[in-house]
Structure 1
Amino acid sequence: MHARKVAVITGASQGIGAGLVEGYLGLGYAVVANSRSIAPRDEENLVTVAGDISDPEVAERIASTAVSRFGRIDTLVNNAGIFIAKPFTEYTQEDFATALGINLGGFFHITQKAIADMLDRGFGHVVNVTTTLQESANSNVPSGLASLTKGGLASVVKSLAVEYAARGIRVNAVSPGIIKTPMHAEETHGFFAGLHPMQQMGTIDDVVRGVLYLEQAPFVTGEFLHVDGGQSAGN
């Protein structure tokens, strides 16, 4: 009998991340879930690790927990992220440091650890959750800092996909539009729906289905799956 597969999911306490935890559990995976404020859980198939993913020591703790509890890391979903919508000249040094630390530092620290474990077995999958705004900007949503950092997450996908393709590790991205999560107040939904050609916001399930498609598509690597109601196609 094969050992069960193990997924590490960052930004996992609510919204898309919480949906991804349930999605991977539904596939029969064991899951290590991280966010700054995630509630303690230690179950047969699920363990949580609280902490700021921008801290290299937290990344070390997540990876070592996955290996000590479940023996391996098969999949890493880099879902943790922060979006600060301000005119570019109004971003503070703190805004810059926070976005850089979470969106790029968090990716860097945990992905290095995960890929190192995957290389030992010649098998693995990394999925970055980006944003369509980094490639298809909208004047109604100032997104310079998100584009700068999430754009880095996007640009590294093909680079890592090619670097590790012959060693059994796939790297893909899901690029969401604006999704109905606790981050967006109900009264903003009409405005955000109008930013998509389909005139609606996406759901958490839409993004989870996209990630799980990539998870179950062994010949797909270096791919960007847009779950964005047509945003990437244009307006």
Structure 2
Amino acid sequence: MSTSKVVIVTGASQGIGAETVKAFRAQGHRVVATARSITPAVEADYVAVAGDIGDAATARRVVNAAIEHFGRVDTLVNNAGIFIAKPFTKYTAEDYAAILNVNLNGFFYITQYAIEAMQKHGSGHVVSITTTLADKANSKVPSVLASLTKGGLNAATRSLAIEYARAGIRANAVSPGVIKSPMHAPETHAALGAMHPVGRMGEMSDIVNAILYLDSAPFVTGEILHVDGGQSAGQ
């Protein structure tokens, strides 16, 4: 267990988050998973904490669980996110509040608490899931609130990387295109795939592999890794 990390994954009940949990556990790491709908659990290498990640109290419980059960925090994967594609003037106050709660509050509190824990042992890694739409807007996918929040996470990632570089703590992001996940109904896959220069959607494993790469790359920090089938390069 000397090489085993302690990894926190948010939005871990399904999709990319659940696959990320599986991948880290398969590599022998210990994982604390959190989501609103996750089933609470305590196992030798796995703890699940249910709650709203946008709530500071939930974020504190998650980090405390990592320290209580495994003694430290090595990696935080900020995967939880909400995406609502609407014309800008059609967003409601409820849409705005929900997206800010998960995409921004859900990043802010747990990242604060996790970095505090990482500082105690002089190393750590924060990797956040953003979106290629923050870099390459698409008129077919009106998504200002995704750009507002996830674009902010890209900027925050670079800022954290510089602020904590000498403290041994890295910060990176994975910027996906459209990925086959429970978020997208199968009947939409052909149209969504056509949005990418490579002509298909990405797989959840593409994002998980990018997370694993960044977590194993000690000289990489401040990187926004586009895993988007060429979308960010052009159309």
> TM above 0.5, one fold?
yes
Describe the SS at the equivalent of 1:175. Answer: strand
Deviation at 1:2, TM superposition (A): 2.9
2:17 aligned residue? 17
Cα separation, 1, equivalents of 2:80 and 2:192: 21
Deviations 1:99-158 (A, max 9, x none): 111000010000000000000110000001000011101111111111111111111011
1:233 aligned residue? 233
Q: Quick one: which amino acid aligns to residue 68 of structure 1?
A: E
Deviations 1:49-106 (A, max 9, x none): 0001011100010010000010010000000000011110000111111111100001
Cα separation, 2, equivalents of 1:39 and 1:192: 31
Deviation at 1:23, TM superposition (A): 1.0
Aligned pair count reads 235
1:177 aligned residue? 177
Runs of 4+ in 1 over 4 A off after TM superposition: none
**Identical-pair percentage:** 60
- Provide structure 2 residue ranges, at least 5 long, that are not aligned to the other structure: none
Cα separation, 2, equivalents of 1:37 and 1:103: 17
Deviation at 1:39, TM superposition (A): 1.7
Deviation at 1:183, TM superposition (A): 0.7
1:103 aligns with 2:92: no
Cα separation, 1, equivalents of 2:196 and 2:49: 35
Deviation at 1:3, TM superposition (A): 6.8
1:188 aligns with 2:188: yes
- Provide structure 1 residue ranges, at least 5 long, that are not aligned to the other structure: none
1:218 aligned residue? 218
1:143 aligns with 2:147: no
2:129 aligned residue? 129
Q: Quick one: which amino acid aligns to residue 180 of structure 2?
A: K
2:4 aligned residue? 4
Deviations 1:159-201 (A, max 9, x none): 1000000110000000000000011001100110010000100
Deviation at 1:12, TM superposition (A): 0.5
Cα separation, 2, equivalents of 1:198 and 1:39: 37
1:155 aligns with 2:155: yes
Q: Give the alignment's Cα RMSD to 1 decimal.
A: 0.9
Describe the SS at the equivalent of 2:41. Answer: coil
Deviations 1:17-53 (A, max 9, x none): 0010011112211000001001222211011000010
Describe the SS at the equivalent of 2:117. Answer: helix
Cα separation, 2, equivalents of 1:18 and 1:52: 16
Q: How does the TM-score come out when normalised to structure 1?
A: 0.98
Cα separation, 2, equivalents of 1:19 and 1:151: 24
1:197 aligned residue? 197
Cα separation, 2, equivalents of 1:3 and 1:17: 22
Cα separation, 2, equivalents of 1:84 and 1:91: 9
Cα separation, 1, equivalents of 2:3 and 2:179: 34
Q: Quick one: which amino acid aligns to residue 224 of structure 1?
A: I
Cα separation, 2, equivalents of 1:5 and 1:216: 11
